[in-house]
Amino acid sequence: MRILVFNAGSSSLKFGLFDTGNGAERHLLKAGYDRFRDGGCDLRWSTDDGRGGQGRVPLADLGAAIAAVPGFLAEQGFDWIDAVGHRIAHGGAGFAAPAPLDDTTLPEIEALTPLAPLHNPANLAAVALARATWPEVPQYGVFDTSFHLTNPAFATTYAVPEVWRQAGLRRFGFHGTSHKYVALRAAEVIGQPLDRLQVISCHLGNGASVCAINRGRSMDSSMGLTPLEGLVMGTRSGDVDPGAFGYLSRELGLSIPQIEAALYNDSGLKALTGSPDMRDAEDRAAAGDAAAQLAIEIYAYRARKYIGAYAAAMGGVDAIVFTGGIGENSASMRRRICDGLEFMGVTLDHDRNARVDLADRAAPELQAWGARVRVIVTETAEQLQIAREVAQAMAQPVRVALTVPVAVSARHVHLSQAHVEALFGPGATLTAEFPLRQPGNFGAHQKVTVEGPKGRFENVRVLGPTRGRTQIEVSRTDTFVLGIDAPVRLSGDLDGTPRVRLVGPAGQVETDGLIIAARHIHMHPDDAARWGLTDGQEVEVEVAGTGRGITFAHTVVRIQKDAFTEMHIDTDEANAGGIVAGADGALVGPGLCR
């Protein structure tokens, strides 16, 4: 399958042609226009058969560059494509996956333009051109914001009046396709599944953001409602006290549109140095320009501050990954950002950092020998990730819905044998009181008290059989009663979980293992094969509830031998949807329909 990918950014146009057929990934063409000034721009291009070139071309702006693409492709001999994938900066809360770009979805995307005024118009201009040029070719959008829709509410919610929040004021995050790709690439380098890692991805370019990727999911990102929040960027300010709007209005007589336009177009490196390009800032700083020197210090400080914050938010970090034009090419900026992070296990090997070679999708490690945190640099390959996701979306067959029973799990405890004996006496074993629907599992006669710094729950049921490690499953509301912040985890994923006290008739134990169980579906292998589902896949499940209904996104399929196919949710989730015992859920989402 031959897929053309457009990545129309705020100051550049990148495009590529990919062949994703037969399980291979060939990058047939890589090209880009950037550095628009004085009626022209730079063009760089290369093909996988060794052709290429670079030079200045008379294209004054992004619109002219987009219009030139069809002719350029024809000149290079690429006269047919199967699909076009477009990077779309803002998809709001409604686009969680790649979506066809048609007369239904495009108005929804256009309505989001005020949230990404530098990006969505350029993205949509590329879509309009592509639809006019290839009217019979499927067009798909892949959204920067989609990856961040897994952010928890405490990371996305602004502390502002409710009517503002109801109007859509919340944090979204951007560069999601880039952050997703580099995190997957880092996991390949490290040799562990991404869902076992805590990664901080630093996309540093004309647009810049840092993302906390906690066990495979975006937990937080430095950009917010719009791509204006966060780091210092080429022409964008990054974090600014919102009180600046009132101050500038009173002191300088500026209107809100004037202030907003300046924060987007005349701030960042451009405001500090006169140029939005870090290369210019580094050249001027080396020549003694004090303003450029300060700009570089501000840029590095802001990035380092976010890295430290996200390491704290995740409770640790396994790898810091640099990407984007600055992250990939500026050894001095990588060093400035990493210097001072030794306290959290980050130490650069300065020789490695100075000799980075990113040819052939390389992702070299830059940390010093023995450093606890890996430091990796790699090209972002957003276009490749977009091509992959478009190919996956097009390959999904339409299936009849799969309906599964929904079980509501109250708080409960799984105990190790050592803790059974500590709580109930030497030689004690769990005794079954009633069977559970999952074969071999039972509700035990034994109960314990779960005690936190604020409150406690008595008579919490122990479920059997024993496990190799104790696990306590509670709802989010329960954590407020206990006074302990617990993470959302799949069963068995207990590293780094908080400690809680368990009290039994024969003693008590302090143990980690307190989690809010991620919603999941236990699935028999035969059902999984029948419906084309894989272990770890995330699906959406619609449950009718008591007339209101609710859709549970990011429900994880867990395929287990002899499992009884059944969805498990906790009491908070059941209450949100008005769900009672005996409810059924219909799997929906990519490749599934009602």
Q: Which residues are annotated as a binding site for ATP?
A: 14, 203-207, 277-279, 325-329
Token pair, residue 204, equals 């540093």
Token pair, residue 544, equals 């009718």
3-state secondary structure of 243: helix
Residue 107 DSSP code: H
Q: Based on the residue annotation, tell me whether 144 is a catalytic residue of this protein.
A: yes
Q: How far apart are CA 520 and CA 287, in angstroms?
A: 58
Q: What is the largest CA-CA distance in the chain?
A: 84
- Among residues 42, 49, 79, 144, the one annotated as catalytic is 144
Q: Parallel, antiparallel, or unpaired for β 566-570 and 432-435?
A: unpaired
**Residue-by-residue DSSP string for 269-302:** HHHHHS-S-HHHHHHHHHTT-HHHHHHHHHHHHH
Binding residue numbers: 7, 14, 87, 203-207, 277-279, 325-329, 382
3-state secondary structure of 384: helix
What are the phi and psi torsion angles at 537 (to 5°)? -65, 145
To which H or E segment does residue 320 belong?
strand 319-323
Give the closest residue to 528 by CA, choosing from 483, 565, 501, 485: 565
Q: How far apart are CA 389 and CA 398, in angstroms?
A: 17
Q: Please answer whether residues 195 and 315 qualify as being in contact, where contact means their C-beta atoms are separated by less than 8 angstroms.
A: no
3-state secondary structure of 10: coil
Q: How many residues belong to the chain?
A: 594
Give the closest residue to 150 by CA, choosing from 531, 454, 426, 555: 555
Q: How far apart are CA 513 and CA 11, in angstroms?
A: 48
Give the closest residue to 167 by CA, choosing from 225, 121, 212, 104: 225
To which H or E segment does residue 462 belong?
strand 456-467
For 501, residues 6+ apart whose C-beta sits below 8 A from its C-beta are 450, 451, 452, 508, 509, 510
Q: How far apart are CA 269 and CA 261, in angstroms?
A: 15
Give the rounded distance of the alpha carbon of 194 from its chain centre.
Answer: 12
3-state secondary structure of 556: strand
Q: How far apart are CA 544 and CA 405, in angstroms?
A: 12
> How far does the chain reach from its first CA to its final CA, in angstroms?
28
The residues annotated as belonging to the active site are 144
